Chains A and B, each alone.
Chain A
Amino acid sequence: MKLDSKIPAGPVADKWSNHKAKMRLVNPANRRKYHVIVVGSGLAGSAAAASFAEMGYEVSCFCYQDSPRRAHSIAAQGGINAAKNYQNDGDSVRRLFLDTIKGGDYRAREANVYRLAQVSTSIIDQCVAQGVPFAREYGGLLANRSFGGAQVSRTFYARGQTGQQLLLGAYSALSRQIGAGTVKMYTRHEMLDLVLVGGQAKGIVTRDLVTGEIKAWASDVVVLCTGGYGNVFYLSTNAQGCNVTATYRAHRRGAGFANPCYTQIHPTCIPVHGEDQSKLTLMSESLRNDGRVWVPKDKADCTKPASEIPEERRDYFLERKYPSYGNLAPRDIASRAAKEVCDEGRGVGQMVDGKRLGVYLDFSAAIKRLGEPAIRERYGNLFDMYENITGENAYRQPMRIFPAVHYTMGGLWVDYNLQSNIPGLFVGGEANFSDHGANRLGASALMQGLADGYFVLPYTVTDYLAGVGLTGRPSVDAPEFKAVVKEVQDRTQWFLNNKGNRSARSYHKALGKIVWEKCGMARDKAGLEGAIRDLQALRADFWKNILVVGSGDQLAPELERAGRVADFLDFGIMMCLDALHRDESCGGHFRTEYQDAGEAQRNDDKYAHVAVWAWQGDGQLPVRHTEPLVYEDVQFTTRSYK
């Protein structure tokens, strides 16, 4: 596998502008002759599709929901970062860059991160112009808050619904193009495979979820913006349909999958309450600005109501362990600290599987200091949501929270141009691996999705198209397309015909349990080896006993689920393998063998690289390749938040 990162030469601050100046252009009159496929309509996909159409390309955009507006970007609550320095607190492009590199535990590509920080400011301009109703100060200026461990206030937000408002902005831009006929939008379509012709990505195969039709689409370039793979854990903060299928199918066609073991566990989610639970709900991290995290010092207090535990018997463990960041310690660190105290038996709340997995997030001090109305103004909708789900009032008693899978830093490997190792296959948003290293900072995923969609892909895809020229698009009748369509049809039929006895959901749950226990917040060699064996057995069982009810010519949720679970099973094995072969701890990847009294121990000599996995065939283990991470600008330091 050839992995050329194509990082432009020159000082890090000039790379993007130099590169842009050198990229090729496509004559405006020719642009409509190029067909661009964008899969996904989240922040990355909508922004990219709208921008390509504005430039004049013919665009087809696909999503599995019934409307592009429902992509899971809609659920982001907290905010979006940008280096505007409106608060005059010392922020700058360089500082956002350094924070992101450090936050990612020195496992991100320097040049990409710098570009992300650079374009962050244009994102805010674009969104405000679209009518995104960001929070404002009384003077009419944009308001900011500090978020997720940042020491500057650089986060822009729209109440607790920032993702919704940003996505509605991008969706409105996309809708304008759909209305103008320049984007053809295919909703309730699931991409089930990628088609290569002559080694280049030239189209996709989809299934129309309503009619069951399996169809090929030819294009000059394919852009995947299909989101993250957090649902490999079954329970996560992702939407039910979030899947790895699009990226994993591309992986099977030769695209390298980078750093699958870098997954982010978010510290503030509502704890698990039972076996039939289908998802975990995030409580925005912004709550940690005013809430204090604690557990009882003494196990014996864990069954008492919080109000009966006096101040001196409480352990504010984040404030104790990380005095300078306190409750705002970065996500991976805060999550692990919560796990530790629960493992010690000091967790609170309901027993699930013999453990109390919850810690308090207490607002009483903030309510005393600022008054209940101020807290209601800041977090009202989150408190309501909490009450709705748990039946408890967080103004009167502390919330209970526990870490949950939230975001995946790994994804398809891309070069500086966001192109995978398959020419013509570009990847944006959470689906790629590019910018967050081993841990993502809060409010930086929205920034990256929109950066990719609005400000990076339009340039780099144009450069690619200018290079391939106008003769490149094959017909959908080409044998390459027919072959892939046949494969997809066969697989679909196989599912419908198999006389099994076990539902896709039950396999998904079993998969989730294995990876959460063995490849979740803490990992070790023996556990990972065991997990790989268990997953291989589960996979074998799946391909014997899966039962799919429904028919192929209508909405068939069980068929959709089976296909996604099948890919998650294979992917789960690769994720554990990646975790097993990274003999160090960094960011969200914590190997218990590599720690210094609970702090992650990186091994920069051996692991300052991207791990990129190449597919080897059905049921075979993938092979590991590497892209070295060369830091020209920053120095490695130990990531300390003490």
Chain B
Amino acid sequence: MVKEHDNLDSHGEQTLSLRLRVWRQSRGTTGHFEDHALAAVPTSASFLEMMDMLNEQLIKEGKDTFAFDHDCREGICGMCSMTINGMPHGPLPGVTTCQLHMRNFRDGEMITVEPWRAKAFPVIKDLAVNRSAFDKVIQAGGFITVRTGSATEANNTLIPKPVADEAMDAAECIGCGACVASCKNGSAMLFVGAKINHLNILPQGQPERERRTLAMVKTMDDAGFGNCTNYGECQAHCPKSITLDVIAKLNRDYLRARVKEFFSSTGKPRKGGD
């Protein structure tokens, strides 16, 4: 997408001049955009390296840098989280912000950079938000109960390859929150659906299946995430290509769990409780 032009850096690489409109917000304030110009951005740089360059320029001017979340810079930790030109993780499908490279932008382009926008993810500073609501959902039931040392021999549990593959497809979710940020309702169904699918289709996940589903959905609702009304934006912006069918399966599992819960609560009391 890089246009023909003759901006070259010392390695003979093409560079871009950019206009950046970046969100600035400190604790207790409502926030606003700040405009900056940045020149000589190599097209091989990643989006975050471009942000580093902007921050270094600000330091030279003695100004505060833009805070943003990032760590691995290789698309796996799920920490980076920028809404670029209105799109969580930017314009390319299937990549995180840290894996987006500047060769996807044009010389002279104006780029808008914002944090995730969602009620359940309040802004901490500038481009960094608080996603601890995701952790709370996992803490409620996103696990299989197995104490250290209590596991049986691994190959005693046979898992057909297609089942293992399907679990792995769902387990690839990096917990970034782009699904929530891209949804008009701020729904977390793609994230929760991915985790529930990962665990609920495995044989090891069966004993806690209903309990897990009910607890995670309840915590999700309590955390202020919105309802799913099938916009499908989450799937379009998910960097790990988690698909909407995890939501369909989550809905089925939830219904199933509710029905079971209903019968166990109207029939004989469950022994042992939990």
Please measure, in the bound complex, the distance between the C-alpha atom of A51 and the C-alpha atom of B146, giving whole angstroms: 10
B77 pairs with A65, CB closer than 8 A: yes
Asked if A129 and B146 sit within 8 Å, CB to CB, the answer is yes
Known: A135-B164, A274-B45. A161 touches B172 (CB 8 A): yes
**Interchain CB contact (< 8 A) of B72 among A66, A74, A350:** A74
Q: A335 at interface (Cβ–Cβ under 8 A)? A: no
A549 at the interface (CB under 8 A from B): yes
In angstroms, Cα B144 to Cα A129, docked, is 8
* Least CB distance, B107 to chain A, in whole angstroms: 17
Which of chain A's residues have a CB closer than 8 A to the CB of B67? 554-557
In the complex, are the beta carbons of B75 and A140 less than 8 A apart? no
Decide yes or no: A66 and B132 within 8 Å by CB, A130-B146, A133-B171, A274-B42 being known contacts. yes
A229 on the interface (CB 8 Å rule)?
Answer: no
**A371: chain B residues within 8 A (beta carbon):** none
Q: Is B271 an interface residue (CB 8 A)?
A: no
Q: List residues of chain B with CB within 8 A of the CB of A47.
A: 148
CB contact between B138 and one of A75, A139, A175 (< 8 Å): that residue: A175
Residues of B within 8 A of A141 (CB): 155, 158
Docked Cα-Cα span, A134 to B103, in Å, equals 36
Q: Tell me if B21 counts as interface (CB < 8 A to partner A).
A: no
Neighbour of B77 across the interface among A70, A133, A506, CB < 8 A = A70
Question: Which residues of B from 18 to 60 have beta carbons under 8 Å from A?
Answer: 26-27, 42, 44-46, 48-49, 52-53, 55-56, 58-60
| Closest Cβ neighbor of A160 among chain B residues | B76
Given contacts A158-B168, A273-B44, contact A547 B138 (CB under 8 A): no
A554/B155 contact (C-beta < 8 A), A65-B79, A131-B202, A276-B53 known: no
CB-based contact A278/B73 at 8 Å: yes
**A142 touches B (CB below 8 Å):** yes
Chain B residues with CB below 8 A from A16, complex form: none
Q: Mark A165-185, 1 if CB is under 8 A from B, else 0.
A: 100100111011011000001
Take A74-B77, A133-B167, A172-B143 as given contacts and tell me if A274 and B9 are in contact as well, using a CB distance cutoff of 8 Å. Answer: yes
Chain A's interface size range is 35 or more
B143 touches A391 (CB 8 A): no
- Check B161–A133 contact: CB distance below 8 A: no
Chain A positions within 8 Å of B273 at CB level: none
Please, how many angstroms separate the alpha-carbon atoms of A340 and B140 in the complex?
54
Does any Cβ of B come within 8 Å of A124's Cβ?
yes
Which residues of A sit under 8 angstroms from B10, Cβ to Cβ? 275
In the assembled complex, B131 has its CB within 8 A of some CB on chain A: yes
Indicate the size class of the contact surface on chain B.
35 or more
Complex contacts, A68 vs chain B, CB 8 Å = 135
Q: How far is the CB of A456 from chain B (nearest CB, A)?
A: 11
Chain A: CB-nearest residue to B28 = A554
Given contacts A72-B71, A175-B135, contact A274 B44 (CB under 8 A): yes
Q: A130, B143: Cβ atoms under 8 Å?
A: yes
The reply to whether B155 and A142 contact each other, CB–CB distance below 8 Å, is: yes
Q: How far is the CA of A173 from the CA of B144 in the complex (A)?
A: 8
Whether, in the assembled complex, A407 has its beta carbon less than 8 Å from a beta carbon of chain B, the answer is no
- Contact, CB under 8 Å: B153 / A131: no
Are A239 and B65 in contact, CB atoms less than 8 angstroms apart?
Answer: no
Asked whether B139 is an interface residue with its Cβ less than 8 Å from the other chain, the reply is yes
Instruction: Looking at the assembled complex, report how far the CB atom of A80 sits from the nearest CB atom of chain B, in whole angstroms.
Output: 12
- Contact partners of B59 in chain A: CB under 8 A: 503, 547, 549, 558
Which residues of A (62-102) have their CB < 8 Å from a CB of B?
Answer: 65-70, 72, 74-75, 84, 86
Extra A-B contacts (7), CB below 8 Å, given A75-B76, A133-B198, A240-B73: A65-B71, A75-B72, A159-B172, A173-B148, A178-B135, A281-B73, A388-B95
B residues in contact (CB < 8 Å) with A: 9-11, 13, 26-27, 42, 44-46, 48-49, 52-53, 55-56, 58-60, 62-65, 67, 69-79, 94-95, 99, 101, 103, 124-126, 128, 130-132, 134-135, 138-155, 157-161, 164-165, 167-168, 171-172, 174-175, 198-199, 202, 204-205
**A–B pairs, 23, beta carbons within 8 Å:** A66-B130, A66-B132, A75-B77, A84-B154, A125-B153, A128-B157, A129-B146, A129-B157, A131-B199, A140-B160, A164-B172, A165-B168, A165-B171, A172-B142, A173-B143, A241-B71, A276-B49, A281-B74, A350-B11, A388-B101, A547-B62, A549-B62, A555-B128
